[in-house]
């Protein structure tokens, strides 16, 4: 099986698994991340694009948020799928490592991505958490999990451990301060940093308007 066939079959597999998912981690999220990754790839050299595309496609096949906090659930499924298709063990293992270590773990938790391939996938995924689409996904997820939209009595927290971050159930608006507004400064590549800067500013404008309306001043 050629690399192109593996990518095509993987895209079909993920589409079937995630199409119609309602938390913002659906097939269309995957497609955007895949496209982001391919865009970033254009500016990078010495990268295994096969690994990047596969990891982008499979990165949310079983997100920890829906699997009891198991950060390896999706990575295991991804590796098994690739080995089933006859992909080399080292490629499958690389994809596994990227998926298992790419998620945001808390404001004060720094787990650097080891490879450029991983950095590209991480950037591609984080870009989709920013801007207009990121705002939409944030509220979709909050609604899916039954969270309040905003509660001024519940203050945002800058979590200092992955466990605290993963157990957090604060209102949706808090998520902007606990994660989303921190992402632009954590991008790995020049291409992603440029895109993130614009999307970050868009979120700041949104939040400014949100609080004006909330307080009855706009």
Helices then strands, counting H and E runs in the chain, come out as: 10, 0
**Which residue would you say has higher pLDDT here, 108 or 2?**
2
Domains and CATH numbers, the chain: 3-214 (1.10.3210.50)
pLDDT of residue 158: 80
Residue 148 CA, chain-centre distance (Å), reads: 22
Tell me the backbone φ, ψ of residue 112, rounded to 5 degrees: -65, 140
At 218, the pLDDT band (50, 70, 90 cuts) reads low
70-101 pLDDT, tens digit each: 577 889 999 999 999 999 999 999 999 999 98
What pTM did the predictor assign?
0.92
Residue keyed to tokens 């899916």: 144
At 212, the pLDDT band (50, 70, 90 cuts) reads very high
Neighbours of 20 (CB within 10 A): 7
16-62 pLDDT, tens digit each: 999 888 888 999 999 999 999 999 999 999 999 999 999 999 999 98
- If we measure between CA atoms, which residue out of 82, 23, 36 comes closest to residue 58? 82
Cα–Cα distance between 19 and 207 in angstroms, integer?
Answer: 30
């Amino acid at each position: 099986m050629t690399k192109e066939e593996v990518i095509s079959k993987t895209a079909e597999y993920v589409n079937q698994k995630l199409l119609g998912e309602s938390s913002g981690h659906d097939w269309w999220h995957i497609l955007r991340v895949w496209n982001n990754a391919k865009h970033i790839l254009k500016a990078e050299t010495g990268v295994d694009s096969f690994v990047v595309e596969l990891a982008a496609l499979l990165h949310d096949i079983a997100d920890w948020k829906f699997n009891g906090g198991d950060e390896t659930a999706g990575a295991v499924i991804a590796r098994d799928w690739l080995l089933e298709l006859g992909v080399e063990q080292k490629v499958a293992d690389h994809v596994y490592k990227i998926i298992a270590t790419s998620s945001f773990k808390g404001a004060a938790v720094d787990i650097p991505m080891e490879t450029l391939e991983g950095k590209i996938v991480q950037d591609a995924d984080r870009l989709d958490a920013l801007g207009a689409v990121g705002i939409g996904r944030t509220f979709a997820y909050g609604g899916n999990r039954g969270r309040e939209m905003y509660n001024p009595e519940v203050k945002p927290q800058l979590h200092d451990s992955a466990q605290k971050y993963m157990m957090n159930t604060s209102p949706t608006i808090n998520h902007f301060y606990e994660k989303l507004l921190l992402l632009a400064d954590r991008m790995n590549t020049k291409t992603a940093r440029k895109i993130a800067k614009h999307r970050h500013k868009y979120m700041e404008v949104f939040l400014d308007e949100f609080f004006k309306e909330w307080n009855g001043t706009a």
